[in-house]
Amino acid sequence: MSMAGMDVRRVRGGARGMRRERLPDKEHQACGLFGVIDRSGRRFGGRVAIEAVMNMRVRGNGLGAGFAAYGIYPEYKDYYALHVMFQDWDLDAKREVDKFLEANFDIVCSEEIPTNPEAPVIDPPLIWRYFVMPHKKGEERRLSDDDYVVKKVMHINTKIENAYVFSSGKDMGVFKGVGFPEEIAEYFMLEKEYRGYIWVAHSRFPTNTPGWWGGAHPFCILDWTVVHNGEISSYGTNKRYLEMYGYYCTLLTDTEVMAYAIDLLMRRQRLPIEIVAKILAPPMWDHIDIMDERQKRLYTTLRMVYAPLLINGPWTIIVAHHGEMFGITDRIRLRPITAGEKGDLLFVSSEEAAIRAVCPDLDRVFTPMGGEPVVGRLKSREKELRRRAEEVV
Amino acid sequence: MVEYSIGGLRDMFLGNVRRLKEILKYAKISSDVAEIDASNLVHKEVNDLMRYCALQGVRRIVLKGVRGQRYIGTRLYFPDPRPKLEIEIHGFPGNDLGAFLDGHRIVVYGNAQDGVGNTMDSGEIVIYGQAGDVVAMSMRGGRIFIRDDVGYRTAIHMKEYRDKVPVLVVGGTAQDFFGEYMAGGRVVLLGLNLDDKPHRARYIDTGMHGGIMYIRGRVEPWQLGKEVGIVDMEAEDWKFIEKHVGDFCEIFGIKEDEVLGGSFLKLKPVTKRPYGKVYAY
Amino acid sequence: MFSHLLPEFIVERRDDRCIRCRACERQCSFEVHRYDEELDRMFSDEKRCVGCQRCAVLCPTGALIVRPHPGEYRRNANWTGERIQDLKKQAETGGVVLTGSGNDKPYRIYWDHIVLNASQVTNPSIDPLREPMELRTFLGRKPDVLELRFNGGDYEDVEIATELHPNVMIETPIVFSAMSYGALSYQAFKALAMAASEYGTLFNTGEGGLPRELRKYGKNAIVQCASGRFGVDPEYLNCAAVIEIKIGQGAKPGIGGHLPGEKVTLPISVTRMIPEGTDALSPAPQHDIYSIEDLSMLIYALKEATNYEKPVSVKIAAVHNVAAIASGMVRAGADIIAIDGLRGGTGAAPKIIRDNVGIPIELALAAVDRRLREEGIRNKCSILVAGGFRCSADVVKAIALGADAVYIGTPALVAMGCTLCQKCYTGKCNWGICTQDPYLSRRLNPEIGAKRLVNLLRAWSLEIKEMLGGMGINAIESLRGNRDHLRGVGLEDWELEVLGIKGAGE
């Protein structure tokens, strides 16, 4: 840490009050991504994800890494697991969050997330987890549990200074921070402490470098997590469209836009990923023009209605929620993706070598076309979806 | 709310590189063959060792346990002429395999990733598997043989110059923007794993203004860029295909007759100046 | 189609001076002048005149005056003559309007709103003619700490234990901008190489390769590896002093290049290693770089290809998020970051891009320097800035804002004869600079061109020393990032804030 750097920071911080209020920069970044799901639902430790993303060390720059894991809290699986970060160990913020949660939820467990103090990470904040059940009152009884949780999470993130919710889904959690992936994994002891059936990992290369742990990936709302590589050139358009639906992009990252777009389309509007893919990464007009009439009408309508959610520019994302994980790129594949299968395991990654590092003898390796999702679902969920589809028929 | 980090700079590439003498133990040199165990080496260390071996007079390097290390073969340019090396890779080489390659031969027993043969000058790369995106980008000489599929933007801006005509043969199929901007060279796409399904690549040869592409298998006109036209195969083309596809089949143990028996499409640019009319002077 | 365009220039021929020597006719590649034998008279086709002044300068009797055409459309603040002419040109061709050289629109030139300091009383000024005045500059990555090993207690025998990153030394903080052989004539290109070598600075090959016989100037060459990868082979990379990855250019951020086939003559095709007569297309992006970690991949690919012996520069156009991008570039491994501003020059660019895309270099430089210092990584790279530097004072101001050195393109061309007629893209440069026509390029003698360039470097360096001396500084490094020596005049608060300087009198 350079002394000169510290001085500058202090001076800048001090002078900021006098300055004209400026619109902040959006963050640009690029990264290494990795995700794995065991479609039989078998749970396993974090080692696979850690080693895989470590193999892509040069895709990050040590300024951020994170993991999401699903199925890790079976003993509390009916409760929302809130991972909350307190910047600078701000205990006032902690007290305020405690009070807020007590007023709005039934808390069945509240504890510090176990960490390894020996891990070489810089300035770790206090990170706490709460297992909670919504305690709705008055008007709010009309909200679904999920919507209620989203509302309360947004409240903590925007209203309580120095507090930030890492994740808020049931039976899952996000672990992230500033450092290389193996350092973050060591800090949270992911290898020994947790067993999940989906693991998603991210190694970050930001060109903006907010030195706070909340800026790392994955981004999470309820049990939906997104990790992302690339830069969205349509950010302004997407963001302003999402604002009309009550999503406010306070973190100034492309990933946030992605997460909200997916929440809007998949959770709230209940569209399947196969269709959502055609909204985020639609076919070119050249190709729509030569489709048969039925398809042409579908794709033309999708593009017309959801034009503001076309995600332009280079991107790859891996999205996960309970029962499902998928990876997808932009429509002309400006960012890489590779998928691999071994029995019930499905891997998605920025590089094949990362998958091979943890599973050398894959049954199949493939790279989907731009805009075509690779979807891994629990077999049980697959069955349920099929049944639902049959009911509709 | 967002404060800048003042953590300085962490070098992810050079950060963990050990000095040569600490990694010499991973190379076993016996006469002119070196075997390198790459499983514990980071990117630069692999090439440090390979360069060291080359300077020791090694002619053949066997890399074992490769797991994503980049630029394999790139640091083997020497201003004074030296014998070219034979490099055998076991495992999964990382991006930019053989970038700027200067005449060496690389054989990979496994899949390769993005950027195989990036701006390659000469030599040969053989891959017993598939490769990722931007294979043979700006390649200007030598040959690349890939047994299975390739990803996006293969052979983008491939060039040629006098007697230096690069050749790429792909046994499987390719994805979009295949041959984009091609300015020279010869690309052959065989589609051997498609059975009778058509190739799916779109925008094939868009912006092509030099070189020739041969595609075996089914491609619809809408899949082609507008700068390219289908022309008849001539005797010279068959001669070319017989030679290079012949070599390809021999290397990978594929029945040559069956491959050559398929129907080939020859694609050439309509003009050397695709964008001459775009500007007002 | 009958052209509706008005002539841009008027050629006045003073008949009493004209001796019908026809020099003007021979000199003009645009075929403005024509001699009529029957009438024994010279005629001018003014519609063709680009105002390059070649004929006026070379007319032995000074009979020619070329000046803007007085004919005008009705005055209109919105529909200016230029807009109307461009519309007509597009209606006649259906194409993108091309132009050459830098942005000529009246965006604020911040250099003209920044004034320099001088010592009075409290600190003596220094006389550069008699006392040492050092301009030597190193380009490349520097370590944070130098680890030394002392053999013996007397500190006489000291070994440097830190492994240093490669650095390149230049004798003056002025470097010639990237101008390719292909855009430039061989003669102009060679003149730049010779001058850089003689003065101890660098020239930049642009992306057209480096002819084999000029590789002896490699020690003074920045060789570019751009999206077209023209002429890039291991030998080209290894003969250079610095390798530069060109991401963008101030005159055309986000736009590729396009050397039309008719300019790809035999020697150009040999240097670029492409067939004669084909278009040399430089794609807009480098197709192996779609993000910052891909940039890192190419930076290290080039370091691998040159055995970690050369600094790698990355050149970008100054755009909105330039500071964040620059930070990412340094973190990606760039040893030098080169930033080309809104007014950067070009051999050919769509006019609509040149005139509307990018931000001024002054603001970009100030933002980048500040950002890198805030992150504590400024010493991990050198900053080279480009884009419309007109005189030595601009250079001094840039260094005080935080630059290590300055790229100059247009001043070098002007030194060789350029008059900024902006017709570089036609390939008909009458001054022999921007053309592949041997009849025209012969007009520029590389030795004389080099002499003019060396004179320019010398003159600017002397002026820089004068300004440094006035500030009481005798080594250029003491000016670098020394914004205390700058004050703004006539700038708004936000501009002063971005530039990080006080207003005059403050």
Report CB contact under 8 Å: C301, B44. no
Q: Give helix A254-262 / helix A235-243 axis angle, nearest 10°.
A: 50
Number of Cβ pairs closer than 8 Å across A and B? 110
Chain C neighbours (≥3 Cβ pairs under 8 A) are A, B
pLDDT tens digit string along A199-250? 999 988 876 555 578 778 898 989 999 999 888 889 889 988 998 888 877 6
Gap between the Cα atoms of C276 and C131, Å rounded: 55
| High-pLDDT (> 90) share of chain A, % | 68
Q: Which subunits count as partners of chain B given 3+ CB pairs below 8 Å?
A: A, C
Model confidence at A262, pLDDT cuts 50, 70, 90, reads very high
pLDDT score recorded for residue B273 = 77
Mean pLDDT of B31-40: 95
Round to whole Å and give the CA distance between A216 and A205.
10
- Is pLDDT of A21 > 60? no
Compute the CA torsion angle B148, B154, B160, B165 (nearest 10 deg): 0
**Chain-chain contact of C324 with A314 (C-beta, under 8 angstroms):** no
For residue A11, the model assigns a pLDDT of 30
pLDDT value for C478: 94
pLDDT average, residue stretch C69-75: 94
**A255-269, B113-127, C37-51, C413-427: which range is least confident on average?**
A255-269
Per-residue pLDDT band for A24 (boundaries 50, 70, 90) equals low
Say yes or no to pLDDT of A28 above 70: no
With an 8 Å Cβ cutoff, are C497 and A230 in contact?
no
- For A20, counting Cβ atoms within 10 Å of its Cβ (0-12 exposed, 13-18 middle, 19+ buried), the class is exposed
- How high is the pLDDT of residue C437? 95
Residue in chain B lying closest to A331 (CA): B176
Q: Residue A210: what pLDDT? A: 53
Contact with chain C for residue A330, Cβ under 8 A: no
pLDDT in the model for residue B90? 97
Confidence of residue A2 (pLDDT cuts 50, 70, 90): very low
Give A217's Cβ-side CA count (13 Å radius). 37
Between B273 and B179, the higher pLDDT residue: B179
pLDDT tens, position by position, A278-310: 999 999 999 999 999 999 999 999 999 999 999
The per-residue pLDDT for B3 is 38
Taking an 8 Å cut-off on Cβ atoms, the answer to whether B121 and C233 are in contact is yes
pLDDT tens digits for range B126-162 = 999 999 999 999 999 999 999 999 999 999 999 998 8
The tens digit of pLDDT for each residue in C357-401 reads: 999 999 999 999 999 998 889 999 999 999 999 999 999 999 999
How many residues make up chain C in this entry? 506
pLDDT at position A25 is 57
CA of C275 to nearest chain A CA: how many angstroms apart?
29
Distance CA A169, CA A332 (A): 33
Q: Which burial class, exposed, middle or buried, applies to C134 when counting CB atoms under 10 A from its CB (0-12, 13-18, 19+)? A: middle
User: Where in chain B are the domains?
Assistant: 18-94, 117-276
Q: What is the pLDDT, as a whole number, of residue A208?
A: 57
Residues 191-250 of C with CB under 8 A from B: 225, 227-229, 232-235, 237-238
CA distance C143 to chain B (A): 11
Q: Tell me the mean pLDDT in the region C80-91.
A: 95
Chain A CB contacts of B91 below 8 Å: 356
Nearest CB neighbour to A30, from listed C144, C293, C375: C293
In C, minimum Cα distance to A13 occurs at: C374
Class of domain B117-276: mainly beta
Residue of C97, C237, C331 with shortest CB distance to B280: C97
Mean per-residue pLDDT over chain B, rounded: 93
Q: C239 vs chain A: nearest CA distance in angstroms?
A: 28
User: Left, alpha or beta for C209 (phi > 0: left; psi -120 to 50: alpha)?
Assistant: left
Band of residue B280 on the pLDDT scale cut at 50, 70, 90: confident
Task: Establish if A25 touches chain C: CB-CB under 8 angstroms.
Answer: yes
Cα separation, B152 vs A330, in Å, equals 12
**Pairs of CB atoms within 8 A across A/C:** 72
Judge contact between B138 and B96, C-beta under 8 A. no
From CA B257, how far away is CA B236, in angstroms rounded?
18
Chain C interface disruption, residue of B114, B161, B163, most C CBs within 10 A:
B161
Looking at residue C429, what is its pLDDT? 97
Interface of C with B in 417-456 (CB under 8 A): 425-426
- Please, what are the domains in chain C? 9-95 (3.30.70.20), 167-503 (3.20.20.70)
**Residue whose entry in the numeric block shows the structure tokens 């030998």:** C235
d(CA C111, CA B125): 53
- B68 closest CB neighbour out of A178, A180, A357: A357
Does pLDDT of B5 surpass 60? no
- The reply to whether residue A335 touches residue C376, judged by beta carbons under 8 angstroms, is no
- Mean pLDDT is lowest, of A115-129, A184-198, B174-188, C337-351, for A115-129
Q: Which of A31, A220, A249, A359 is catalytic?
A: A31
Quote the tokens at residue B113: 């990733």
Determine what percent of chain B is predicted with pLDDT higher than 90: 85
Distance from CA of C496 to the nearest CA of A (A): 11
Interface of B with A in 59-98 (CB under 8 A): 67-68, 70, 91-95
Tokens read off for A57:
């060390």
Q: How many helices (DSSP H) and strands (DSSP E) are in chain C?
A: 15, 23
CB contact under 8 A, C283 and B157: yes
Identify whether the C-beta of residue B34 lies closer than 8 Å to the C-beta of residue B58: yes
> Is the pLDDT reported for residue A15 higher than 90?
no
Q: Which residues 6+ apart lie within 8 Å of C213 measured at CB?
A: none
Chain C CB contacts of B157 under 8 Å are 227-229, 281, 283, 287
- Cβ-defined contact of A2 to C376 (cutoff 8 Å): yes
Q: What are phi and psi of A226, to 5 degrees?
A: -130, 130
Q: Are the beta carbons of C332 and C296 closer than 8 angstroms?
A: yes
pLDDT at C152: 80
Quickly tell me which residue has 């029962």 as its tokens: A323
Extract the tokens encoding C170: 């230049």
The pLDDT of C132-138, averaged and rounded, is 95
Model pLDDT, residue B66: 96
Contact by Cβ (8 Å): C300, B71? yes
Distance of residue A369 Cα from the nearest chain B Cα, in angstroms: 7
- CA of A62 to nearest chain B CA: how many angstroms apart? 6
Closest by CA position to A105, among listed A161, A162, A170: A170
A249 is catalytic: no
Q: Where are the alpha helices (DSSP H) in C232-349?
A: 234-238, 266-272, 292-305, 322-331
3-state secondary structure (DSSP) of residue C184: strand
Does the structure show a pLDDT above 80 at A7?
no
User: Could you tell me the domains of chain A?
Assistant: 26-281+311-392 (3.60.20.10)
Q: Is residue A3 predicted with pLDDT exceeding 90?
A: no
Q: With pLDDT > 70 as the criterion, what percentage of chain C qualifies?
A: 100
Is A205 within 8 Å of chain C by CB? yes
Q: Which two tokens stand for residue B279?
A: 């500007």
Q: Is B111 on the interface with A (CB under 8 A)?
A: yes
Mean pLDDT of C194-203: 98
Q: Which of A211, A333, A353 sits opposite B4 (nearest CB)?
A: A211
- 3-state DSSP assignment of residue C164: coil
Q: C95, B96: Cβ pair inside 8 Å?
A: no
What pLDDT was estimated at residue A5? 30
List, for residues A32-57, the tens digit of each pLDDT value: 899 999 999 999 999 999 999 999 98
pLDDT given for residue A18 in this prediction: 39
Mind telling me how many Å the CA of B264 is from chain A's nearest CA? 24
Judging contacts by C-beta atoms under 8 Å, the chain A residues touching residue B5 are 63, 178, 209-211
Asked if A122 is an interface residue toward chain C (Cβ–Cβ < 8 A), one would say no
A319: pLDDT confidence band, cut at 50, 70 and 90?
Answer: very high
What secondary structure does DSSP assign to A203-227, as a single string? EEEESS-B-SGGGSSPEEETTEEEE
As a whole number of Å, the end-to-end CA separation of chain B is: 51
